[in-house]
Amino acid sequence: TYIGSIVASVNPYKSIPGLYDGSAMEQYSKHHMGEISPHIFAVANECYRCLWKRHDNQCILISGESGAGKTESTKLILKFLSAMSQHSLELSCREKTSCVEQAILES
């Protein structure tokens, strides 16, 4: 559940199919935090949005007891941020190509 901009999560100690796959990343990348159910990808997406859209520095604090899943949570956040960065890079490259093609067609 969310507590302000904090997500409180529980390590299920087992794999839950579909919880952290590409479709989950895509779903959370399209919504602001709080619009859909709480998820670590929502926190990562909010971080990404603030970093790139508002140019605000970001920090994510992951805390918990030994075995609570801190390392796995960190891996999931980095996986999400990496996927979002790759997607942004692909869009940027496509837009530049489109601009170049448009300039060639106009000359």
Binding residues: 64-71
List helix spans (H) across the chain: 22-29, 40-52, 70-106
Residues paired with 2 in a beta bridge: 7
CA–CA distance, 37 with 107 (Å, rounded to integer): 50
Task: Go through the chain and tell me how many residues it has.
Answer: 107
Query: Which segments are annotated as binding site for ATP?
Result: 64-71
What DSSP string describes 4-17? Answer: TTEE-----SS--T
